[in-house]
Amino acid sequence: MKRHFITILYCALVLGMTLSVSACKDLTEININPNGVSEEEANPNLLLPTVLTGAASRYSELSFWDLGGVVQYTQFDAWFEGHNDYKWTGGILSWDAFYGYLRDNELMRSRAQKLGLDFHHGVSLVMRAYIFGFITDLWGDAPYTDALKAELGGAQYSFPKFDQQDVIYKGILEELKQANQLLSRADASYEVLASADVYFGGKASKWRRFANSLALRYYMRLAEKEPQFAKQGIEQIMANANEFPIITDAKDEVVMDFVGNNAGDSWPSNTVYDATGSNFRRMKMCATLVDRLQQLQDPRLQVWAKKVEIPIEIRSTEPAGTDKIVNGIRIVSPDIVRGIPVDTDAEYVGLPASGSKNPSAYNLNPTPGQTSMNPHVSYLSDIYKAAKGDLLKARLLAASEVNFILAEAAKKGWSVPESAKTYYESGIRSSLQSWGKANDYSAYIQRPGVAFDNTLQQIMEQKWISNWSTGAQAWFDYRRTGYPMFVVGPAATRTVLPVRIPYMQNEMSVNQKNAEEALKRIEKTAYSQADNENSAWSKSWLLQGTNKPW
């Protein structure tokens, strides 16, 4: 089923016509905005697509761009410091967009409760949990219990306190339980405009699976910090399949298609609305991912990456000074590359993670610079030039993730129905299915390095691979487990990967007292350096005392 942003336009037109008619009833009401609607009259069906599309787009963009660089899926060869070296500025530091979606979502929740719309109420709780969970995953402590209540008045709500991470995680887990109950009836029993639900077309049963699978994510997020709590939560869900249905198949995973009508509703690296092609051109595959996929003979590599246009060969038989292209191959003599790292792989070449202060010059690029076209490294597949496509989706929660969570739970000895091996193999199968490579499963699962070896490292490596284009989840798993064991390149800001997004300066100024209280609870580390507590290398509650990931 296609899920489209066009719903927003449709709903806006309906709303506009409705308001135009009602505005004509009394021309003396000159202080009423004919193009607006009061919160007391807001239709949850009109709020629903705004929340869903906004949250999915922002999550997908952040995961694909800078967080994809952190977990070494991709690297930039121009304007690269934020992506490759974690020198974050601007939009990535701001949570304003997420709190904006939460405000719309809160209005949808309150209106749904007033109107007795259990579907919208349940969905609002799932999205509240999803967005608040993402906020605390990124920043650590954040406004939660006193947030979204400014209309109540007073400093308590205008300048809300930052709740500790455990309060937020446990709060959203309770909200997901509520959502599970609200969404437990037959799909046909709910009143909802199906086209407004751009994830599932108004099917409450799929939202229910989303709620419980999201709970699995957050129970496992707490596994290192509060293992008994996490164990009990996951075991309760898995012991009651009828009461707590989960996502087990790719057909039920939480994705949203891009419509491709304009820059705002299209895949972020597209060259359709980016006339310069800059967003696509400067992003390259990272060697960390490329090299590992080649070692495993992973069929997903050919879906995600493009082969190098002109391979390089170093021929000792050539005279000194040789540098020529013959039959589509660049042939150089050893003196040309002396002291210069060169990757001569004939098919795929990734940029080394944080490997150079001038990554556009990598692999003998003949035209280094911000507008270069390097023929000797792997760009992303051409599918990522498109504004939309069958594989271009905002992936909020995949079936593969659920299976890998359960594989980890089984590996820990927790009581779940299947073995770690069964869940691990199901995770790989569902990921291959999502990327159109289901037919390669039988051969792939038997390969060295892929065939199950009963180690957490292998489970997390395959989970990392399956999270391609959703770097946020790969980063959160790395912080919690230390896997994959990423090596930071020589140009990185620190010698280890960052573990949080710093609080933005405007929040530190506007809500200073509460922000400073939150900073007191953050653990400064040896890598925080002059950034002190508000550093990307300082540890929030979730990582304190775990010795993870470093």
Q: Provide the CATH number for the domain around residue 201.
A: 1.25.40.390
Longest CA–CA separation in the chain, Å:
91
Say which residue, 277 or 17, is predicted with more confidence. Answer: 277
Residue 234 and residue 142 share a domain = yes
pLDDT of residue 35 exceeding 60, the answer is no
243 found inside a domain:
yes
43 found inside a domain:
yes
Residue 208 and residue 67 share a domain = yes
- Residues 68-78 have a mean pLDDT of 97
Q: Are strands 312-314 and 329-332 parallel, antiparallel or unpaired?
A: parallel
368 found inside a domain:
yes
CA 370 to CA 358: how far, in whole Å? Answer: 10
Residue 187 and residue 241 share a domain = yes
Residue 160 and residue 306 share a domain = no
41-69 in b/e form (b: 16+ CB < 10 A) is ebbbbbbbbbbbbbbbbbbbbbbbbbbbb
What pLDDT does residue 22 have?
A: 34
- Residues 342-352 have a mean pLDDT of 98
Provide the percentage of residues in the chain whose pLDDT is more than 90.
89
Name the least confident of 13-22, 79-88, 184-193: 13-22
Residue 168 and residue 110 share a domain = yes
506 found inside a domain:
no
pLDDT of residue 3 exceeding 70, the answer is no
Confidence of residue 2 (pLDDT cuts 50, 70, 90): very low
Contact 288, 350 (CB under 8 A): yes
189-212 in b/e form (b: 16+ CB < 10 A) is ebebbebbbbbbebbbbbbbbbbb
- Among 223, 258, 293, the domain-final residue is 258
- Among 240, 258, 276, the domain-final residue is 258
Contact 427, 465 (CB under 8 A): no
CA 89 to CA 493: how far, in whole Å? Answer: 13
Residue 167 and residue 108 share a domain = yes
CA 181 to CA 224: how far, in whole Å? Answer: 28
Confidence of residue 37 (pLDDT cuts 50, 70, 90): low
405 found inside a domain:
no
CA 288 to CA 298: how far, in whole Å? Answer: 14
Confidence of residue 9 (pLDDT cuts 50, 70, 90): very low
CB atoms within 10 A of CB 152: 10
Residue 219 and residue 72 share a domain = yes
What pLDDT does residue 40 have?
A: 79
pLDDT tens by residue, 50-60 = 999 999 999 99
Contact 75, 488 (CB under 8 A): no
Residue 338 and residue 195 share a domain = no
What pLDDT does residue 90 have?
A: 87
- Residues 119-123 have a mean pLDDT of 98
What pLDDT does residue 16 have?
A: 39
517 found inside a domain:
no
Is the Cα dihedral 503, 506, 511, 516 positive or negative?
positive
pLDDT of residue 270 exceeding 80, the answer is yes
Backbone φ and ψ for 195, nearest 5 degrees, come out as -70, -15
> Which domain, by its residues, includes 291?
284-384
Residue 298 and residue 226 share a domain = no
Alpha-carbon dihedral 436, 437, 441, 443, rounded to 10 degrees = 170
CA 370 to CA 263: how far, in whole Å? Answer: 22
CA 273 to CA 96: how far, in whole Å? Answer: 25
- Residues 516-521 have a mean pLDDT of 97
- Residues 334-351 have a mean pLDDT of 97
What pLDDT does residue 5 have?
A: 42
Per the structure, the count of domains in the chain is 2
Written in H, E and C, the secondary structure of 111-156 is HHHHHCCHHHHHHHHHHHHHHHHHHHHHHCCEECCCCCCHHHCCHH
Residue 223 and residue 88 share a domain = yes
pLDDT tens by residue, 465-501 = 999 999 999 999 999 999 999 999 999 999 999 999 9
Confidence of residue 39 (pLDDT cuts 50, 70, 90): confident
Structure tokens at 377: 């490294």
- Among 355, 384, 413, the domain-final residue is 384
527 found inside a domain:
no
Query: Comparing C-alpha atoms, which of 333, 325, 322, 332 is closest to residue 309?
Result: 325
497 found inside a domain:
no
What pLDDT does residue 8 have?
A: 41
Residue 191 and residue 58 share a domain = yes
Residue 290 and residue 198 share a domain = no
